[in-house]
Each structure stands twice: as structure tokens, then as C-alpha cells.
Structure 1
Amino acid sequence: MKKQRPVNLDLNTISFPAAAISSILHRISGVIMLVGVGFLVWALATSLQSSEGFELVHGLLTGFIAKFIAWGIMTALGYHLLAGVRHMFMDMGYFEELDSGRVSAQIVFVLAIVLSVLAGVWLW
């Protein structure tokens, strides 16, 4: 049974709802955190090996690029935490309707921006 219906594969013309964008960003932030944890574990292990290792890590982490990477990891962590709490509430039966799901996703976006700015102020 082959259906003859049009298929739109141009993702630039598809408008995703806020809840879908929130879910996609939750997955992306999880991947960013996974990579970031690898870097942070390396930095911790190197800094604890010797005083030279500590000086190496300290030198690396005081530069702008390292602070920017740390800010990205902290931003991903904050967003992932907020979106995870939203998903837990959805698992309990809240925010499952279309309107409340959209509003809860927008609230997560706003709070994530606030946390991102606070992380930037704290780092710099």
C-alpha cells in the first residue's frame, strides 16, 4: 500500500513548536555536558597529579577561551537541569496540554537565559 502524498523534506520551512525545540535542546545540552565532563575530569586529574599539573590547568583555565568553554558547559548544565525538571513534571501528568506545554517550554527558555547571564557574570 503506497500512499501518494507530498513529502516536505525542507527543514527550513517547518515551524517547530516551542515544546519540540525545548526537547531537542535538552538532548543537545546533554551531549554538550557529556563532552564537558570529559574535559573537566581531565582537568581535575591533571591538577591533582602534581604542582606542575596544577599550574598547567590553572594556566589553561584562566584564558578567555577556557572561560568561554566553561560558560558553555555551565549554560548547558543549567538548561539541562531546567528542562529535566520540566520533563519530570510532564511525566507526573502536568503541562501535557498544548498550551501549558508551550508556556512551560517558554518559561524554561527564559530561566535558562537568566542562568546563562548569571554564569557569565560569575565567571568574568
Structure 2
Amino acid sequence: MAEMTIKKRPKNLDLTTIRLPLPGKVSILHRVSGVGLFLCFPVMLWLFGASLGSPESFASFKAVAGMLPVKVILAGLLWAFVHHFCAGIRFLLLDLHVGIEKEAARQSAAVVFAVSIPLTLILWGVLL
């Protein structure tokens, strides 16, 4: 009977040493932002409906939205939406085989960050 050799594959279990390339970071943040938006969607719908219910409910909504912790949460949700939208366009283009080369994929990932962060700040300034 032939000897079986057991291959010892390198295993990196230290998650702090893993270095993802920029497209990998965009992919993970796209998934995280999608999950966050999905989980917060019922709350956002309820808040939207409550703000349209009556002038009193809108005034109370506006008072709550003026608090700093709520502003931080709303800014995070706004960033999640903008990033998810921009990264989604990138992934649609990748599905159409546009920019699938290594350097083009890196550049498109950088464009997602370069567009989503300033666009979030601009929208936050407009909506504030």
C-alpha cells in the first residue's frame, strides 16, 4: 500500500495580518452596507411614514433627528446607501465584463471610494 502524504497547508488564522486589496475591501463593504440597509429598512419606512402622518409627528421626528447620536446613525445609513449604489454600479459593469482586468478593477474600486465619500458629504450637507 502506498504511503499517504499529508500536506500541511499554510493556515493564516490571525485575521489581523490578512491584507485585502482595495477591490476586496469594496466588495466586503458592499455586502456590509447591503445587510445594514436591509436590516434598517423597516425602521426607515416607519420613520418616513411617521414623518408624513401629521405636522406634530413631523415636528417630533425633526426633534429626534436633531440629536447627535441620531445624526451619526443617519449619516452612516446615508453612506451605506451611497456606497452600496456606487459599488453596485461597479459590480454591474464587472458582470458585463467591463474593467475585469486587474489594474482596471483596482482603479474602479478606487473610484467607488473617491465618489461615494464626497457624494455622501455633499448629500449630508444638502439634507442637513
Q: Give TM-score, length-normalised by structure 1.
A: 0.86
Bigger shift: residues 75-84 or 37-46: 37-46
Q: Return the match for 2:27 from 4, 23, 28.
A: 23
1:117/1:55 Cα in 2 relative to 1: closer, same or farther (>3 Å)? closer
Q: Distance in 1 between matches of 2:95 and 2:20?
A: 21
Partner of 1:89: 93
Q: Is 1:73 matched up with 2:73? A: no
Q: Return the match for 1:55 from 55, 59, 70.
A: 59
Q: Distance in 1 between matches of 2:87 and 2:103?
A: 17
Cα deviation, residue 89, structure 1: 0.3
1:120/1:52 Cα in 2 relative to 1: closer, same or farther (>3 Å)? closer
Cα deviation, residue 56, structure 1: 2.5
Partner of 1:64: 68
Q: Is 1:35 matched up with 2:39? A: yes
How many residues of Structure 1 are paired with residues of Structure 2 in the alignment? 124
Q: Give TM-score, length-normalised by structure 2.
A: 0.84
- Note the residue ranges of structure 2 that are not aligned, 5 or more in a row: none
Bigger shift: residues 9-18 or 55-64: 55-64
1:9/1:34 Cα in 2 relative to 1: closer, same or farther (>3 Å)? same
CA deviations on 1:34-93 (whole Å, 9 max, x unpaired) are 233222111123334445433332221122222222211111111011000000000000
Q: Distance in 2 between matches of 1:119 and 1:48?
A: 21
Give percent identity, aligned residues only.
35
Q: Distance in 2 between matches of 1:94 and 1:22?
A: 17
- Give SS of 1:16's match: coil
